[in-house]
Amino acid sequence: MSVPAFLLYAFLYLYPALNNLRFSTTRWDGIVEPEFVGLRNFSNLMTNDDLFFKVMGNNIRFTLLVVIFQTGFSLLFAILLLKNSRGNVFLRTLYFFPTILSSVSVAMIWLFLYDPNWGAINIFFNKIGLEAFALNWLGSETSALYAIVFSQVWFHTGQMMVIYIAGLQQIPAELYEAAEVDGANRWQQFRSVTWPMALPTTAVVIAYTTIQSFRAFDLIYTMTLGGPNNSTNIFSTLIYLTAFNEFRFGYAAAQTIFMVLMILFLTWLQRRILRTKY
Amino acid sequence: MIFKTVRALLLAIFALLIIIPSLIVIFGSFKSDLEIYESPMSLPDAFKLDNYRTLFETSQVFTNFRNSVFVTSMSVFITLLLASMTAFALSRMVNLSAKVMFALFSLGLAIPAQVNMIPLFILFNDLKLTNSFFGLILVNIVTTLPISIFILTSFFRELPREMYEVSAIDGASIFRIYRSIALPLSKPAMGATAIFLFVINWNDLLYPLLLITQADKKTLPLAMLDFRGEYATSFSMIFTSVMIASVPMVIMYLTMQRSFVAGLTAGAVKG
* pLDDT greater than 80 at residue B88: yes
CA A151 – CA B17 distance, rounded (Å): 11
What's the DSSP call for residue B44?
A: P
CB contact (8 A) between residue B114 and residue A236: yes
Calculate how close chain B gets to A47, using CA atoms only, in Å.
23
ipTM confidence: 0.88
Interface of A with B in 68-107 (CB under 8 A): 73, 76-77, 80-81, 91, 93-105
CB-side exposure of B2: number of CA atoms within 13 Å?
A: 1
Decide if domain A36-277 falls under CATH 1.10.3720.10: yes
Which candidate, A150, A239, A163, places its Cα nearest to that of A208? A163
Q: Which residues contact A102 (CB under 8 A, 6 or more apart)?
A: A218, B202, B203, B205, B220, B221, B245, B246, B249
CA B70 – CA B80 distance, rounded (Å): 16
Q: Where are the domains of chain A?
A: 36-277
Backbone angles phi, psi at A36, to 5 degrees: -70, 125
Per-residue confidence at B191, pLDDT binned at 50, 70, 90? confident
Amino acid in the structure at residue B187: K
- Nearest chain B residue to A261 by CA distance is B111
Of A270 and B141, the one with more pLDDT:
B141
CB contact (8 A) between residue B199 and residue A243: no
CA B165 – CA B160 distance, rounded (Å): 9
Predicted TM-score of the model (pTM): 0.90
Please answer whether residues A157 and A95 qualify as being in contact, where contact means their C-beta atoms are separated by less than 8 angstroms: yes
Ranges of chain A whose pLDDT falls below 70: 276-278
pLDDT at B186: 84
CA B91 – CA B163 distance, rounded (Å): 14
- Nearest chain A residue to B223 by CA distance is A104
A/B interface, count of CB pairs below 8 Å: 231
A188 touches chain B (CB under 8 A): no
Q: Which residues contact B68 (CB under 8 A, 6 or more apart)?
A: B202, B219, B220, B221, B245
Mutate: best of A100, A122, A185, partner B, most B CBs <10 A: A100
- Nearest chain A residue to B173 by CA distance is A1
Closest CB to A208: pick one of B108, B143, B271. Answer: B271
Per-residue confidence at B201, pLDDT binned at 50, 70, 90? very high
pLDDT at A164: 92
A15, burial (CB in 10 Å: exposed 0-12, middle 13-18, buried 19+): middle
Q: Identify the weakest region by mean pLDDT among A123-127, A204-208, B26-30, B93-97.
A: B93-97
CB contact (8 A) between residue B205 and residue A221: yes
Neighbours of A209 (CB within 10 A): 24
What stretches of chain B show up as alpha helix (H) in DSSP? Answer: 2-28, 33-38, 50-58, 61-92, 96-110, 117-126, 133-158, 161-169, 174-177, 183-185, 187-203, 206-211, 220-230, 235-255, 257-270
Backbone angles phi, psi at A35, to 5 degrees: -110, 125
Q: To the nearest whole number, what is the mean pLDDT of chain B? A: 87
- Nearest chain A residue to B197 by CA distance is A100
- Nearest chain B residue to A117 by CA distance is B37
- The SS3 assignment for A257 reads helix
Please answer whether residues A109 and B242 qualify as being in contact, where contact means their C-beta atoms are separated by less than 8 angstroms: yes
Q: Which residues of A touch B2 (CB under 8 A)?
A: none
Per-residue confidence at B268, pLDDT binned at 50, 70, 90? low
Neighbours of A203 (CB within 10 A): 17
Interface of B with A in 99-138 (CB under 8 A): 101, 104-105, 107-108, 110-123, 138
Q: Which residues contact B117 (CB under 8 A, 6 or more apart)?
A: A239, A240, A243, A256, B206, B207, B210
pLDDT digits (tens, 9 = 90+) for A204-214: 899 889 888 88
Q: Which residues contact A241 (CB under 8 A, 6 or more apart)?
A: A225, A226, A233
